[in-house]
């Protein structure tokens, strides 16, 4: 429950922040340099300070860490709100943008601490056999928050940024209250060694990096998480460009015509539904279809024990994602685009859901914070790289979004095959404990 509320507050804050920083009216957000600046500063400290973040998560009560970050984000949001009141419209000016971006960086850093602490806490709250199901719930929460959070743009338009900041701050505080209700202190295994290790942070960080390099399972899973995030970053750019330029969008207007007539008759005003409105409707439709695929994937992993614990499941997820990207690029109609979006989400769920659960199950508790922090850094770097290579739009201009999508899909399929061949033992094994009389011991990896 705390994660639901925290995620919703985070989405609301992001939309309101973009509305302020980009100087946009009515929640209509500009795509360009301003957005890139916000994304960069929201991620940069999480990447640069990842080893230290992991050390904090592995050294102190993770419950306390989550409480501090929740209430800290609420305080920073209220501080940003005061700044908005003081500066007024100047807050969106180029001269003052750096001040707002400082708040963005600080809130992004707290986000970067909260997420590894939450991920490292799951294994202390549920049994080993329930880890996949628990992580499936966490993934589901993220999907729901993204869908509901999309309404934040309308809330910004109706209530203004000030009200949304207050709502987001209240959400973080409420999340903290739910975390307070957890009876487990969520202490990592080495919490008593904090004082003794205080002067050995560099060696501890080096040990954590070395541990990740030596642990073959953790190394592969973290690399897979980064690969998935890089593919998502490219897919967002290439996929939207292909969908909104290479396919006839008029069926969206035809499908919504009856509803528009009803609304027009009730309001007495003719509603405009031009090209811009078509693109918005299609974008939301693609998001919804992808979310349906994600939900199918997390339900499959959570409900079918053998599926969720199949060692090679992330490889199959990469393969399915690649095939879905190829289908998406080859789609010649809007209906086919929506249909291909479902397996896109399903493939993403099959990659992400079992990775966290297996890391939680197979890594020592006093290493989880650092590994999850490094994983978050890898994913952020991958996403930033995907955005960076498309920042000026030259790739799409030269090769076209459709060809780039096809190249991405084929590359993902090839990568999945290479990973499967290089980890042939994963193709026949289950990790964790198998339910049933035939076996009750952990399987080989």
Most confident region among 47-56, 204-213, 285-294, 414-423 by mean pLDDT: 414-423
Q: How confident is the model at residue 193 (pLDDT cuts 50, 70, 90)?
A: very low
Q: Is residue 374 part of a domain?
A: no
| Mean pLDDT across 238-248 | 80
Domain presence at residue 258: yes
In a domain, 163, yes or no: yes
Sign of CA dihedral 376, 380, 381, 385: positive
Does any domain span residue 368? no
Question: Residue 229 belongs to what domain range?
Answer: 216-362+392-425
Same domain, 145 and 9: yes
In a shared domain, residues 399 and 277? yes
Q: Which two tokens stand for residue 144?
A: 């729901």
- Segment 224-253 shows an average pLDDT of 82
Asked whether the predicted pLDDT for residue 117 surpasses 80, the reply is yes
Whether residues 83 and 180 share a domain: the answer is: yes
d(C-alpha 70, C-alpha 118), whole Å:
11
Is residue 26 over pLDDT 80? no
pLDDT tens digits for 63-83? 999 999 999 999 998 888 787
Indicate whether 311 belongs to any domain: yes
The last residue of one of the domains, among 148, 172, 206, is 206
Mean of all residue pLDDT scores within the chain: 77
Report the distance separating Cα 93 and Cα 36, nearest Å: 16
Name the range with the highest mean pLDDT among 74-88, 254-268, 395-409.
395-409
Q: Classify residue 220 by burial, with Cβ atoms within 10 Å: 0-12, 13-18, 19+.
A: middle
| 265 in the same domain as 173 | no
First-residue to last-residue Cα distance in the chain: 34
pLDDT of 152 strictly over 70: no
* More confident position, 129 or 402: 402
- Do 45 and 172 belong to one domain? yes
- Residue 445 in any domain: the answer is no
Residue located via tokens 């090839």: 414
Q: Does residue 183 register a pLDDT over 80?
A: yes
- Domain total in the chain: 2
Cα radius of gyration (the chain):
23
- How far, in Å, CA of 24 to CA of 89, rounded? 11
Backbone angles phi, psi at 423, to 5 degrees: -130, 55
pLDDT band at residue 147, thresholds of 50, 70 and 90? Answer: low
354 belongs to a structural domain: yes
C-alpha closest to that of 338 among 393, 266, 286, 404:
286
Question: Per the domain annotation, does 240 fall within a domain?
Answer: yes
Contacting residues for 239 by C-beta, under 8 A, at least 6 apart: 286, 325, 328, 401, 405
**442 pLDDT higher than 50:** no
Which position has the higher pLDDT, 142 or 383?
383
Domain containing residue 99: CATH number? 1.20.1250
273 plus 414 within the same structural domain: yes
DSSP β-bridge partners for residue 442: 433
pLDDT given for residue 122 in this prediction: 85
Helix (H), strand (E), coil (C) string for the chain? CHHHHHHHHHHHHHHHHHHHHCCCCCCCCCCCHHHHHHHHHHHHHHHHCHHHHHHHHCCCCHHHHHHHHHHHHHHHHHHHHHHHHHHHHHHHCCCCHHHHHHHHHHHHHHHHHHHHHHHHHHHHHCCHHHHHHHHHHHHHHHHHHHHHHCCHHHHHHHHCHHHHHHHHHHHHHHHHHHHHCCCCCCCCCCHHHHHHHCCCHHHHHHHHHHHHHHCHHHHHHHHHHHHHHHHHHHHHHHHHHHHHHCCCCHHHHHHHHHHHHHHHHHHCCCCCCCHHHHHHHHHHHHHHHHHHHHHHHHHHHHHCHHHHCECCHHHHHHHHHHHHHHHHHHCCCHHHHHHHHHHHHHHHHHHHHHHHHHHHHHCCCCCHHHHHHHHHHHHHHHHHHHHHCCCCCHHHHHHCHHHHHHHHHHHHHHHHHHHHHHCHHHHHCECCECCCCCCCCECCC
**pLDDT for the residue 275:** 66
Q: Are residues 222 and 126 in the same domain?
A: no
Chosen domain end from 206, 236, 260 = 206
pLDDT of residue 277: 65
Domain end marker among 143, 175, 206: 206
Q: Per-residue pLDDT for 319 more than 70?
A: yes
Residues 224 and 297 in one domain: yes
Which pLDDT score, from 0 to 100, does residue 93 have? Answer: 59
pLDDT band at 445 (very low <50, low <70, confident <90, very high): very low
pLDDT at 194: 42
Residue 99: partners with Cβ closer than 8 Å, 6 or more residues away: 83, 87, 91
The residue with tokens 């934040």 is 152
Same domain (yes/no): 121, 170? yes
Q: How confident is the model at residue 207 (pLDDT cuts 50, 70, 90)?
A: low
Q: Residues with Cβ < 8 Å from 82, sequence gap 6 or more?
A: none
- Decide which of 445 and 93 is more confident: 93
**Closest to 354 in 3D by CA, of 128, 143, 138, 135:** 135
* Whether residue 192 has pLDDT greater than 60: no
The whole-angstrom separation of Cα 257 and Cα 273 is 9
180, 221: one domain: no
* One domain, residues 300 and 171: no
Within this chain, do residues 137 and 267 fall inside the same structural domain, yes or no?
no
Question: Residue 143 corresponds to which tokens in the numbers above?
Answer: 């999907």
pLDDT at residue number 419: 93
């Amino acid at each position: 429950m705390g994660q639901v509320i925290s995620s919703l507050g985070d989405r609301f804050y992001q939309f309101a922040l973009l509305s302020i920083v980009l100087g946009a009216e009515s929640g209509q957000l500009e795509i360009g340099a301003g957005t890139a600046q916000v994304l960069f500063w929201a991620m940069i400290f999480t990447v640069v300070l990842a080893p230290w973040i992991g050390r904090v998560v592995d050294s102190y009560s993770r419950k306390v860490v989550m409480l501090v970050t929740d209430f800290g984000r609420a305080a920073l949001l209220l501080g940003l709100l005061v700044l908005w009141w003081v500066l007024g419209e100047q807050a969106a000016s180029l001269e003052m943008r750096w001040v707002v971006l400082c708040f963005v960086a600080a809130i992004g850093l707290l986000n970067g601490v909260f997420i590894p602490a939450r991920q490292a806490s799951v294994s202390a709250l549920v049994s080993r056999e329930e880890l996949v199901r628990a992580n499936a719930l966490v993934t589901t929460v993220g999907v729901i928050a993204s869908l509901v959070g999309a309404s934040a743009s309308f809330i910004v338009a109706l209530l203004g940024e000030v009200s949304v900041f207050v709502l987001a701050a209240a959400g973080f505080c409420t999340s903290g209250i739910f975390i307070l209700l957890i009876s487990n202190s969520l202490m990592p295994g080495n919490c008593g060694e904090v004082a003794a290790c205080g002067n050995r942070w560099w060696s501890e960080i080096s040990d954590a990096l070395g541990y990740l390099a030596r642990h073959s399972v953790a190394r592969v899973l973290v690399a897979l998480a980064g690969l998935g995030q890089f593919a998502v970053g490219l897919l967002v750019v290439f996929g939207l460009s292909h969908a909104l330029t290479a396919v006839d969008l008029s069926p969206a207007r035809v499908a919504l015509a009856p509803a528009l007539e009803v609304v027009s008759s009730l309001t007495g005003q003719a509603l405009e539904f031009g090209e811009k409105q078509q693109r918005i409707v299609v974008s939301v439709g693609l998001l919804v279809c992808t979310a349906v695929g994600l939900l199918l994937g997390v339900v499959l992993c959570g409900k079918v024990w053998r599926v969720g614990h199949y060692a090679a499941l992330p490889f199959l997820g990469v393969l399915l994602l690649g095939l879905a990207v190829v289908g998406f690029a080859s789609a010649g109609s809007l209906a086919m685009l929506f249909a291909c979006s479902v397996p896109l989400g399903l493939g993403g769920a099959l990659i992400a859901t079992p990775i966290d659960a297996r890391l939680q199950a197979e890594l020592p508790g006093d290493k989880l914070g650092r590994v999850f922090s490094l994983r978050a850094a890898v994913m952020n770097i991958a996403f930033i790289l995907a955005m960076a290579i498309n920042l000026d739009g030259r790739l799409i201009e030269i090769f076209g979004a459709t060809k780039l999508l096809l190249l991405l899909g084929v590359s993902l399929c090839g990568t999945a095959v290479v990973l499967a061949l290089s980890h042939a033992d994963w193709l026949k094994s289950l990790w964790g404990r198998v339910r049933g009389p035939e076996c009750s011991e952990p399987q080989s990896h």
